[in-house]
Amino acid sequence: MQSDRPTGDVSENGVWSAVVPRTMAGERLDVFLSSAFKDGGLSRSKIQSLIKSGSASVDGEVARKPKLKLSGGETIALTVDLPSAELAPEDAPLDVIHADEHLVVVNKPWGLTVHPAPAQPSGTLVNRLAHHFPAIMSMEGERPGVVHRIDKDTSGLLLVALDEKTRLALSAAFAGRDVDKDYLAIVHGVPQDESSGRQTGTIDAPIGRDPKSKTKMAVVDKGGREALSEWEVLWSSPDGQASLVRVHIYTGRTHQIRVHMAHIGHPLMGDAIYGARQHKEWLRDSGHDASLAPRQMLHAWRLGFTHPETEQDMRFVLEPPEDFRRLLFTLARTTVRVGVVGMPGCGKSALSGFLREAGVPVFSADDAVAALYEHGEDGWTLVRRRFGEEFAPDGEPVAKGRLFAGMRQSEDFRREVLDIVHPLVQHRLEEFWAQHADAPVAVAEVPLLVEGGWDERGIVDMVVGVHCPEAVRRGRLEDRGWDEATMAALEAWQWSEADKLARCAHVVDNSGTLDDLHAEAQRLLQRIDADRRADEEREHQRIMALWSGDKDASAGADATAS
């Protein structure tokens, strides 16, 4: 991106000089120089040291006060250790996407500075270009061939001219907005246009130096330069914590995408300058290591322009690097939320116990109800408020025997009880899912799950049923002291076993011994893991298709790199 920081000329004796723009009237001398040399890596403290040592002058007079206020229009000079006038070629890797005698398109890796600067005279992309394309050595200036830039920690496509005529033509094309630039960004949250409610929008907001922090850029009310970006959400993580966004920029302001996306409340993941708070919170809440997003997650994805010599339409598409893909695939991972159902006495709890022993987080709706019915808890309070102290006595838990008897006598009463209890249990279950969001699999044993439509409403991802011969399970219930009337009532409130199992992705057979059920539990986990891996692979393919299926790339030069 093109910078709007103050620029100047370098004399033969290594003195940098520039005229202070009128728009920077009132600025301090050290702030002005820090702005000018930010790309060179000169810190504010280094600038201040240079000023105090007498290395700076204002209109020919030595200025030793870093806080000196400028009026605008002055000529500022600073003596620094500038790069050698002769560019030093470096034999280092260069990923060339396209090259001809006039220009080259390269894939710039993140972490690589584009051109030499006072604090980094070597180790840049231009140093590598000088080795692989010596023609740029004949061009003037410290940035030979550079017609646009991307930040050091941004990856992707970069266009470089190999001769002065091409450089001038391409620079004019960038200035005239005749170059198409699309970026991929991973941002916090899911952007949504406030007026339309759609996941696409335009940001038309001027960018200038942040009045609160001179080392940052910001959307400003006064003194900024026009900045126009369009964005579109391509994909969002299942938990809504992050999105893959396409951003098309019409202007090339410093940090434009980073500033604009932060301005609408969705900064880039990994951006330590414009999204530090959001990224810190995400790392804390997700438990992920900071190495998962080691830089601002921004990639120069598509580049289109007219070749200045051949007039050919040139279009390039470049898939994101490995760290970008790794973050997206990690964000796409979800816990497989499994609901376990079955008829009374079928062995749901025994299966859940074996899964818990295998390290799987397990939720029990029955245990949740028991906790909710304790004195003073939400279930106790609501039952007492609706049905009176007969069912929720002072100092005691809910009288479940009386409640059950009332439910058997009246269908309306039973439905009222379920209307109280089910939302509370669902809330506890959702808290359970959130607590175990990093687990590959989590299980909830909920007897009336399918009857309540929890699978259809997306409260669980998969339903597993437990089958047990009727005679066997009734015998188990009799051993627990259940009479025929109780069994009949509970079964009447549920779907038939056939209807339950018809809604299940997997059915566990519990017609044998406990050892047999333990083996079934192990096989179930293997099947669920296979399903999860297949779903992840399908999601990975879907994500990759978002950046590889570019229809425009088939036009013109058809120069697609992936």
Can you tell me the distance from the alpha carbon of 99 to that of 287, in angstroms, rounded to the nearest whole number?
Answer: 44
Helix, strand, coil shares of the chain, percent, nearest 5, are 35, 20, 40
In SS3 terms, 375-431 reads as CCCHHHHHHHHHHCCCCCCCCCCCCHHHHHHHHHHCHHHHHHHHHHHHHHHHHHHHH
| Cβ atoms 190, 233 nearer than 8 A | yes
Can you tell me the distance from the alpha carbon of 442 to that of 313, in angstroms, rounded to the nearest whole number?
Answer: 52
Tokens of 448: 């009336």
Tokens of 483: 């009479």
User: Look-up: residue for tokens 């023609």?
Assistant: 135
Task: Give the helix/strand (H/E) hosting 60.
Answer: none
Catalytic positions, written as ranges: 151
| Cβ atoms 319, 544 nearer than 8 A | yes
Cα separation values, 120 from 34, 42, 84, 92, 127, Å: 15, 9, 11, 16, 11
Q: Which three-class secondary structure state does DSSP give residue 236? A: strand
What is the DSSP secondary-structure string of 321-375?
-HHHHHHHHHHH---EEEEEEESTTSSHHHHHHHHHHTT--EEEHHHHHHHHTST
| Cβ atoms 445, 349 nearer than 8 A | yes
Q: How far apart are the first and last CA of the chain?
A: 23
| Cβ atoms 255, 283 nearer than 8 A | no
Q: Which three-class secondary structure state does DSSP give residue 35? A: helix
| Cβ atoms 63, 56 nearer than 8 A | yes
Can you tell me the distance from the alpha carbon of 397 to that of 418, in angstroms, rounded to the nearest whole number?
Answer: 17
